Amino acid sequence: MTKKQRYQKLTRYQGIRKDTQTGKYQAYKKVDGRQYQKDFSSLRQAIKWRSEFNPYLDELINEPKGEKFSVLLEKYKELHLAGLKYSTQEVFNERSVFFDEMLNVCISDITPVFIDSYLKRKKELAIQLGSTRSDFREELKKLKAIFNWYRENYDHTFINPVLKRHHILGKIKDRQKKEKKMTEEEVVLFFESLDEGIWKEFAILQFYLSARVGEVAGLLSDCVDLKNRQITIKRTAFWSRQNKQFVGLTDTKTGESKPCHLNDTMFKIVVDRMNSRPPGCEFLFHENGEPLKYRTIQYRYNKALKKCGLSSKYSSTHILRHSMATVTRKVTGSLESTQAVTGHKDQRLVEHYSVVPSLRQIEAVNQVEKHLNDLMNFKSAEQS
C-alpha cells in the first residue's frame, strides 16, 4: 500500500505547499543556502510571507554589532533637538515611536534594503491595527534628518540609507484632502453661528488678519497701536500636543513680525479686547485672565460649524486663514493683495517686508470688510 504524501506541492505558487494533514499552507524560502519555512492558515498569507520575508531583518534587530541606532538617537536629541522649539521637540518625540524596533540595530546595518523590510513590517502592522494614518512620510523625513546630522558631525563617508523609493513604499493609502477654503457666504454663516463675545471676536480677527490660530491667541497688548490703527503679529501661542494645554509663546512660523492695518470692524474688536483685560493680563484673548486652551478654541469653532450645517465639509481652526486668502483674491482680483494679507515668507515684493502694513494689505482688509458687510446687509433685507 502506497503511503500518502503529507505535503502537496502547488504548481502555480513557487515555494508553497499544502499540508494534507492539517490543511495549512507551508511557505519555504532558501536564502544563502539556508532554508526558512512557516505555516499559514491561508494561501494569501503564505504568498505574502514568501514575497516579503527577510531573515536578516530579525537577525540585525536581535544581534547588533557596532554602535547602535539608540546611541545616535540620544546624541541627536541631546545635541541638536534640545536647541529647537518645544513644539518641534514634542512632534519629534511623538513620531520617534516609529524607531522602536530599530533602536538595537547597528548604524552600519541600516541600509536601504533594511529600511525596505522595516517599512513593510510597519505598514503591515498599521493595517492590522486599523490605523487611520496614510503613510510614514514624516517619520522618514525625521530619520533622514538624523542620518544627515550623523554624516555632518561624525562620519563624512556615511551614505544616507533613506531613499525616494521609501516614501512610495511607506504609503498605506491616499491622503484624504480636507477642504479649508470657505466661500464668503459660508464665512458669514460661520460668524453668525459663533457665540457672541470673545469667540466671535476671536474668529473675525483671525479671518481679517489671515492669521494662524496661535498667532491670534498670542496677541499681547504690546502688539497694538491704536493711534495708527495697527496691530503687529510678533509671536505665536503653542499648546501641548498631548493635552492641548497652553505651554508658552514663541516666534512666529516665519520668524518675522507681521504688521496689519485695522479696519473699522477689527479696530472695534481690538479696543474692546484691550478694555476687557483684567489687571496683570497682557493677552487680548483670555479666559479669566488665563491664556486660551487650544481644545476650547477647537470646540467653539466646531460647534459653530455644526450649528450652521458646515461640519461635514470643514473642521479645524485653520479654515479662516485659507478663507481670507480666497475671499481676498475674489474681491480684489489681485494675487499681490492676497500675498500681502497672508504674509507668506516667500513673497518677493519689498513692501511686504516693511515695518508698516503695505498699501495692498490696507486696501485688501478694507475691501473684504465692505464686501462682507454688504453681504450681511443684503441677507438681513431679504429676511425682513
Asked whether the predicted pLDDT for residue 264 surpasses 70, the reply is: yes
* Integer Cα distance of 74 and 80 in angstroms: 10
Asked whether the predicted pLDDT for residue 65 surpasses 80, the reply is: no
C-alpha cell at 369: 470688510
Q: Choose the weakest-confidence range: 50-59, 160-169, 212-221.
A: 50-59
pLDDT for residue 255: 82
DSSP labels, 95-158: HGGGGGGGTTSBGGG--HHHHHHHHHHHHHHHHHTT----B-HHHHHHHHHHHHHHHHHT-TT-
The CB density around residue 181, as the number of other CB atoms within 10 Å, is 16
What residues contact residue 94 under an 8 Å CB cut-off, 6+ apart?
241
Asked whether the predicted pLDDT for residue 2 surpasses 50, the reply is: yes
* Integer Cα distance of 223 and 211 in angstroms: 14
- Mean pLDDT computed over 330-346: 64
Quick check: do 63-177 and 184-345+353-383 share a fold? no
Q: How confident is the model at residue 71 (pLDDT cuts 50, 70, 90)?
A: very high
* Integer Cα distance of 222 and 233 in angstroms: 10
pLDDT for residue 55: 74
pLDDT for residue 347: 47
Q: Which residue has the higher pLDDT, 96 or 381?
A: 96
Q: Choose the weakest-confidence range: 199-208, 289-298, 313-322.
A: 313-322
Q: What is the pLDDT of residues 12-21, one digit of tens each?
A: 888 899 888 8
Asked whether the predicted pLDDT for residue 348 surpasses 60, the reply is: no
In words, the CATH class of domain 184-345+353-383 is mainly alpha
* Burial of 136 per CB tally in 10 Å (0-12, 13-18, 19+): buried
Residue ranges of the domains in the chain?
A: 7-53, 63-177, 184-345+353-383
The Cα-based distances of 171 to 47, 114, 120 in angstroms read 21, 17, 10
Identify the CA nearest to 172 among candidates 141, 133, 121: 133
Homologous superfamily of domain range 63-177: Tyrosine recombinase, N-terminal domain (1.10.150.130)
What residues contact residue 305 under an 8 Å CB cut-off, 6+ apart?
190, 193, 311, 314, 315
- Mean pLDDT computed over 253-268: 90
C-alpha cell at 355: 515695518
Provide the 3-class DSSP secondary structure of residue 268.
Answer: helix
The b/e string for 365-381 (b: 16+ C-beta within 10 A; e otherwise) is bebbbebbeeeeeeeee
- Structural contact between residues 220 and 233, judged by C-beta atoms closer than 8 angstroms: no
According to DSSP, the residues that pair with 16 across neighbouring strands are 27
* Integer Cα distance of 347 and 353 in angstroms: 9
- Mean pLDDT computed over 359-366: 80
Q: What is the pLDDT of residues 105-144, one digit of tens each?
A: 999 999 999 999 999 989 888 887 788 888 999 999 999 9
* Integer Cα distance of 260 and 365 in angstroms: 9
CA 19 to chain centre: 48
